[in-house]
Structure 1
C-alpha cells in the first residue's frame, strides 16, 4: 500500500470517516493494479492481438464492477454528508480518474473482443 494515501497522522481521522479511508484506499489499490496491467499489455503487445481466455472474463468484470460500484457508493456518501474531511479522503481516487477511465475502457475492449472472438471460433 502507498503510505502517501494516508493522511498524517492517522489518529486525526475521525472514526466515522475511517471506513471511507479504508474503502478509498482499497479502490486505489485495485485501480493501480489494473493500470499496471494496462501499461504492461499496451507496452508489449499490439492492442488488437490481445485476448483473454473465458476463465478470466468474470474475474476482470468483477474487478471493474467493484471499482465502479465502490467509487460510486463512496461519492454518494460524501455528497450526502457534505463533509470536507470526507471529500478529502477521496482525493487519491480523483487523482486516478483519468488512469481509471483509460484502463476500464481498455479492459472492456479486450473483454468484448475476447468474447466476440471466442463466440466466432466455431
Structure 2
C-alpha cells in the first residue's frame, strides 16, 4: 500500500509530465488546441495560463473538417507535431451559450478550404 509521501511523489511526477507535454504544444504558439480525446484539468490550466483555448472530445468528422479548413494536419502523438502541421487562417474563436448548451464557433477564415 502506498504511503502519503509516495502519492505526493507520484503527483509531482504526473504534474511534471503534463507540463512537459504542454510545453511541446506551446512552442508552436497556438491559439487553439483541438483534441478528439480528453484533456486533463491540469493540461487545460497550463494551456489557458498561456492564452491557449482548448476543445476536447471533438467528433472525428468535425475534427477532420476543421483540419481541412485550416490546412492543418492531425497528429496522434506530440512527438509527431511539427510547425507545418499547425493550421492557420481562422479569424475568431468564440463560445456561445444557446439555451442550456455551449457551442464553439470558429469564424472568419482567411482562405477557407472546406
Higher relative contact order (CA 8 A, sep 6+): 1
- Larger % of helix: which? 1
TM-score, with length taken from structure 1: 0.28
Structure with bigger gyration radius: 1
- Larger % of strand: which? 2
TM-score, with length taken from structure 2: 0.30
